[in-house]
Amino acid sequence: MSAASASSRVDDDDRVYDEDVRVMVDAMRARRSPSLQSTGVGPARDALESISRPPGPDMQTVRRVEFEGPHGRVPVRVYRPHGAPEQTAPVVVWFHGGGMIMGSLESFDRLAREVAAATNAVVVNVGYRLAPEHRYPVAHDEAYAAVRWVRETAARWGVDPDRIAVGGDSAGGGLAAATALRARNEGGPRLAQQILVYPGLERRCDRPSMRTFADSPFLRAEDIDWMKSLYLGDDPSTDDEYGTPAVATDLAGLPPAVVVCGYADPLRDGVEDYGRRLQEAGVLTAIIRYPGVGHGFFMQSASVARARSAIAEVGGLVAARFARNSSAVPD
């Protein structure tokens, strides 16, 4: 990289990122953090699991259980926040991020707690199987099975079977979108809403945000290609709407949505395009773009102020939608 291009990138970073995010960006660039692909699956998983995060909000209860899924037993953690109704709480079935190749109930424990506290809903965090050991459709099958299991066991968890939402961040947001599509197509369970936080909805496409932020330290374009291939395979012609929700041709009849992205995220334009398509299909959808942050910012709440405010704001929207009729328009 030439000195001129390096200087230009620093100027871009100064303008694009909030100050607390820029501190992280500068540190990552100084370390010359390698791509995930060059790191490899095992070391990438280890690196994510090794990140030290402060504990999340205290919960009334956290229960660790398993259910029998289509590919074997699936671990889940059920978080009940203080103040949630004892027998009729709303519930969010949450799918963690990690590009379909990494992440666990442990590494996403803090975020699950924050989602539960912000929404005042029970959160069921799903430990779905990862690629490349388990390629599509395994994770999708387990995500859909988790929603059906929550519906069938609602009384056990003290949740309202008519107020089930799906949600997730990054890869998990893509799983949530795909689960909403399948629930519509197969006649249930009926979902109250979907919460799509910078969801992975498509393979890499030539969009402005993908070109501008292709070298983002939080998510590189080359790593998107690599992780999608590990999960979906190398042939895009085989993609369907459950593996790649953006290829769905009909979005009508889906549950209301909150669609979230950061300005400096290479996925931004694809995420917002999906949100607009939901709106055009008559789905009540709030599209929220947060400035100053990149991909994965919900996981940065311990050090990034905008992440904390975004979780609170999105949580408030979700709680308000749970409290109203599901056809109500979000503020």
Q: Whose structure tokens read 């490899």?
A: 40
Check if 8 is active-site.
Answer: no
Check if 50 is active-site.
Answer: no
pLDDT < 50 regions, the chain = 1-11, 325-331
Catalytic residue among 18, 169, 265, 269: 265
Distance from C-alpha of 105 to C-alpha of 184, rounded to nearest angstrom: 27
Distance from C-alpha of 159 to C-alpha of 131, rounded to nearest angstrom: 31
Cβ atoms within 10 Å of 283's Cβ, excluding its own: 18
Note the pLDDT tens digit of each residue in 129-153. Answer: 999 999 999 999 999 999 999 999 9
Q: Tokens for 260, please give them.
A: 């979230």
Return all residues near 275 (Cβ < 8 A) that are at least 6 apart.
Answer: 196, 257, 259, 285, 287
Q: Tokens for 190, please give them.
A: 């009926």
Catalytic residue among 209, 216, 239, 295: 295
Catalytic residue among 18, 96, 109, 170: 170
Check if 38 is active-site.
Answer: no
List the beta bridge partners of residue 79: 62, 123
Give whole-number Cα distances, 254 to 165, 188, 293, in Å: 12, 11, 29
pLDDT of 251: 98
CATH of 34-323, one of 3.40.50.1820, 3.20.20.70, 3.10.270.10, 3.30.365.10: 3.40.50.1820
pLDDT of 33: 85
Domain ranges across the chain: 34-323
Is pTM beyond 0.85? Reply is: yes
Q: What amino acid is encoded at 244 in this protein?
A: T
pLDDT of 12: 59
3-state SS, one letter per residue, for the chain: CCHHHHHHHHHHHHHHECHHHHHHHHHHHHHCCCCHHHHCHHHHHHHHHHCCCCCCCCCCEEEEEEEEEECEEEEEEEEECCCCCCCCEEEEEEECCCCCCCCCCCCCHHHHHHHHHHHCCEEEEECCCCCCCCCCCHHHHHHHHHHHHHHHCHHHHCEEEEEEEEEEECHHHHHHHHHHHHHHHCCCCCCCEEEEECCCCCCCCCCHHHHHCCCCCCCCHHHHHHHHHHHHCCCHHHCCCCCCHHHCCCCCCCCCEEEEEEEECCCHHHHHHHHHHHHHCCCCEEEEEEEEEECCHHHHCCCCHHHHHHHHHHHHHHHHHHHCCCCCCCC
